[in-house]
Every structure is written in C-alpha cells, then in structure tokens.
Amino acid sequence: MPRLRTAVRIMLGFFLVFAGVSHLTFARKDFRAQVPEFVPLDVDTTVALSGAAEIALGTALVTAPHHRLMGWLTAGFFAAVFPGNVSQWRNHRDAFGLDTDRKRLLRLPFQAVLITVALWSSRTD
C-alpha cells in the first residue's frame, strides 16, 4: 500500500503542476470564471496566485520529505478553492466544458475526492 500511496501522491503532484501552469497560460479564461465576487483581489491576480500555489504544492508533493504536511496543505488548498466551484455553478458560468448547471453541480463533490486523495496519498504509516 505505501507504494500505491506514493504513486498516487506523485500523480497528484504532477496534476497540480499541470493545473498551475494552465492557470498562467492556456486555461486562464476558464479559471477566471471560477473566481467568486467576494475575493478582494483582481480576478487575474487571483488566477495567477492560485496557479502559483498549485505549482508549489504539486512540486512539494513530489519532492518534499514532509509528505504528510504537504498533503494537509494541499487538502486545505482544495477546500479553499471550493467556493470558486460553487460560484461557477451559482453564477451559471461556462468553463472547462461545464456548460450546464447540472454539469457544474455534479462537479462539486469531486472536490471532496481531491481532498481525500491528498490526505490518503500523503500518509506515512
């Protein structure tokens, strides 16, 4: 089981790095659709900062010796960006192929899966 957890943690790390790079490049417009109105920063700044955070977290999941801490930080990040997913659904914003309220609503539980994967894959026992 430790090998499987390590493999999943590394895959999650690479996924986060890819997502972070996409924030800063080709998917910037889609990520703008997720920024809730209550965020006090400019939308582009928010997208850039969250992309940088994803790159840092993904890199740390792959390389840092303190995997458990990185897993908790990653889970916290996934929880922190959840309001953006809710905002996209509530404000009927199309992005990432989520072009109906049903699709946007069905996506919401996936955040819990990401949180669970981050915590499970970073366990050291």
CA distance 119 to 112: 11
CA distance 1 to 90: 39
pLDDT of res. 116:
98
pLDDT of res. 65:
83
pLDDT of res. 1:
86
Phi and psi torsions of 98, nearest 5°? -90, 85
pLDDT tens across 61-107, in order? Answer: 999 888 899 999 999 999 999 999 999 999 999 999 999 999 999 99
Instruction: Find the Cα–Cα–Cα–Cα dihedral 30, 63, 73, 66, rounded to 10°.
Output: 170
pLDDT of res. 13:
98
Cα 35 to chain center, whole Å? Answer: 13
124 falls in which pLDDT band (50, 70, 90)?
A: confident
Give me the mean pLDDT over the 29-37 stretch: 96
- For the entire predicted model, the pTM comes to 0.94
Give me the mean pLDDT over the 18-32 stretch: 97
- The tokens of 9 are what? 């943690």
Q: How many CB atoms lie within 10 A of CB 73?
A: 19
CA distance 99 to 33: 12
Extract long-range pairs of 52-55: CB within 8 Å, 24+ residues apart. Answer: 52/20, 52/23, 52/24, 53/20, 53/77, 54/16, 54/17, 54/19, 54/20, 54/23, 55/16, 55/17, 55/20, 55/21
pLDDT of res. 71:
96
